[in-house]
Amino acid sequence: MQYTGHSWVMVMDRLECLFCARRYPLDVFEIFCPFCHEPMLISSTPRKRSFALDRSLSLEKYQSFLPLAHVTKTLSLGEGDTPLLPLDRVRRKHHLPPVYAKNETINPTQSFKDRGTAVAVQKAVSLGIKSIGTVSTGNMAGSTAAYGARAGLRTIVLLKADTPPEKIRAAGIYGPILLKVRGDYGELFAASLEIGRKHGIYFMNSIDPLRIEGYKITGYEIFQQLGGRVPRYLFVPVSSGGHLIGLMRAFLDLKEEGFTEELPVFVGVQAKGCSPVARAFAGGKARYSSFPHPATIAHAISNPAPPGGNLVLKLVRENKGMVMAVTDAEILAAQRELAELEGIFADPASATVLAALIKLSRRQRMSLKDEVVLVITGSGLKSMETTERLNIPVHQTSLSRLEKALRTIGA
């Protein structure tokens, strides 16, 4: 039962497959369509939806768009409500239309993943689930471990055998069970879901439907922050595809509810060195094929066989969008510019969006009225290894020559 503001109604969450239109009651252990083998999404509920902007948590503000009958405040770590920052120096340098960064690096564990984990953990607790898990080497591991700790749930993180120790520690500090697994990473993803179903462990992986619901909130916030407008372009990095799928669903929700008639041009961005979805898009294909020998500095989006890849292609095609690829050199230059010109230290995976905007603006005319939003998905502090390539000058002097040295440097 759920109170809508006027009356109590029965709300039963359902999953839908967009490929065959079949629907099923929500089962957190069964997230792929048994017929199409594609990820399913929460189907939108028939209730009237509205914003509750006077509430304190972002989950509460947009609760009527989410499959949550109740929000338990104590499970939240304060995710969401991230700033939309104008990038005026970047804009002037590259002669761009108005550009904004939706800065997701300030989430509780420094990435957008927290928005999805927050919704999935709310649901897990309401269903009485005691164990959660994820398959990840990076941001999702840290996010799931943090929210698992917050909720007092047993949390299992399955890691690739070659995950570097500093990445493991960033999740390990929250006290999850860490298990390194030898073998193919794609198969590990499938195996986790199967084992989870058998043993009641809710593996909230990258394209989990509840996780994707959490990502929708970013879209609603952007709409509010632009004063009830939809941006002309929305750039989002793509790996599994879960995040972009969530953002597209958010704007489709807003259209369906009559808040807007427009949709943004959705621009998914991949690193050229691992770009299965961009390659399929450029080739006019409805389905991607696995990307051989991935090699990019943007490790967080280096998935050669993304489970949401075909769904991204379908939704992008249906809703005015595109998927682009950018090189490592373009990514590093964009990362440096975001930091030096705007004060935002973005993960290389996140810097792809600025690189793609610069590329697109050279390829097609953008009007000065076109507002652009770049979603900066995660903090560069999680990928310090890429900064080794930066040639950052460090001056040296002694204490007695400090003043003179500053004068010489021109500080």
Ligand X SMILES: Cc1ncc(COP(=O)(O)O)c(C=O)c1O
265: Cβ contacts below 8 Å, ≥ 6 apart: 232, 233, 234, 320, 321, 322
386 binds ligand X (CB under 6 A): no
Helix axes 113-126, 209-225, angle to 10 degrees: 130
Task: Pick one of Zn ion, ligand X, none as the site partner of residue 20 (Cβ within 5 to 8 A by kind).
Answer: Zn ion
Q: Tokens representing 126? A: 């309401």
Nearer to ligand X by C-beta: 45 or 350?
Answer: 350
**Which tokens is 292 given?**
């051989």
- Three-state DSSP state, 49: coil
39 binds ligand X per the rule CB under 6 A: no
Binding partner of 36, given Zn ion, ligand X, none, CB within 5-8 angstroms per partner class: Zn ion
Contacts with ligand X, 295-324, as mask; x by CB under 6 A: -----xx-----------------------
Q: Is 218 in the site for ligand X (CB under 6 A)?
A: no
> Taking a C-beta distance cutoff of 8 angstroms, is the pair 330, 301 a contact?
no
CB nearer to ligand X: give 139 or 163.
139
The reply on whether position 133 binds ligand X by CB under 6 A is no
Residue with the CB atom nearest ligand X in the bound state:
378
- Give Cα separations from 285 to 240, 277, 288, 306 (angstroms): 17, 9, 7, 15
- The smaller minimum CB distance to Zn ion, of residues 15 and 222, is found at 15
Does position 376 interact with ligand X (CB under 6 A)? The reply is: no
Decide if 341 contacts 89 (C-beta within 8 A).
yes
| Helix residue ranges per DSSP H, 56-184 | 58-61, 88-94, 113-126, 139-151, 165-172
- 239 in contact with ligand X (CB under 6 A): yes
Indicate which of Zn ion, ligand X, none lies near residue 241 (CB less than 5 to 8 Å, by partner kind): ligand X
Name which of ligand X, Zn ion, none residue 139 binds, using a CB cut-off of 5 to 8 Å depending on partner kind: ligand X
Kindly state the smallest distance separating residue 238's Cβ from ligand X, in Å: 5
Select from ligand X, Zn ion, none the partner in contact with residue 19, using the beta carbon and a kind-dependent cut-off of 5 to 8 Å. Zn ion
350 binds, among Zn ion, ligand X, none (CB under 5 to 8 A by kind): ligand X
> Do 101 and 78 contact (CB within 8 A), yes or no?
no
Contact 156, 179 (CB under 8 A): yes
Binding site for ligand X (CB under 6 A): 111, 138-140, 206, 237-243, 300-301, 347, 349-350, 377-378
